[in-house]
Amino acid sequence: MQRICKRFLSTTLPNLRKVQATNLKGKKKSSQEWIQRQLNDPYVQKADVFNYRCRSAFKLLEIDERFKILQPDKEQVIIDCGAAPGSWSQVAKKYSGPNSTIIAIDKLQLYPIEGVHILGNQDFTTAHAKLQELLDDKKVHVVLSDMAPNATGIKSMDGENIVTLGYSVLKFAVTVSELDACLLIKLWQCAEAKKLEQDMCRFYESVKVVKPQASRSDSAEIFLLGRHFKGLSTA
């Protein structure tokens, strides 16, 4: 039933009338275009209807609908890296087992989410010890990362920076994950991404490049999904 509900909310919302932005006087053209796009983005509208904090919820919903990362009949331990504003943690809480442990961490302050452990104002790349302490020797079933660095506009530098973040998540995941666990990492399309994909294959039986429909077509955003963690001893 839960899977059916997710499919319903992600595909059946009626098209809404185009909204024309007002009060744009004095704003740069790029800002005006961004506001206009947000107002007419169907996923922004869906997020409002279904009480998700931002449109990115539908990226995780689509990926989970296809690959079944979240297990509503199991108690899972889930880490949401770069969680702000919290929409992926909302999805994780809703579609994992009722007694699952969900930890959300971000450099930004995170408003509380019922049933989610919040680590706001914390840099994931330097907070591994704190996460390990919070886990209290529990093994992790799902590591999610929607993190991205601030873009510089220099493609090679931006690609290198986001892949460096991805390696930080991979390093953490392989040290805390249960056998058969999943890892989902956001990247941008770049030459460096292929190396990370190859290295993930050392630890996960299946590694796929995924681009959900909720990811804008003009965006370089992709996701690497590793499934069935093999453990460190077999890597």
The catalytic residue positions are 186
- Phi, psi of 35, deg, nearest 5: -65, -45
The CA distance from 17 to 163, in Å, is 39
What is Dmax (Cα atoms) for the chain?
61
Q: Which helix (H) or strand (E) holds 89?
A: helix 87-95
Cβ atoms of 226 and 199 within 8 Å: the answer is no
Residue 222 pairs in a beta bridge with 187
Cβ atoms of 118 and 112 within 8 Å: the answer is yes
Q: Which helix (H) or strand (E) holds 206?
A: strand 204-210
CB crowding 26-53: b at 16 or more within 10 Å, else e: eeeeeeeeeeeeeeeeebebbbeeeebb
Q: Edge to edge, what strands does the sheet with 221-229 contain? A: 117-119, 101-105, 77-81, 140-145, 177-188, 221-229, 204-210
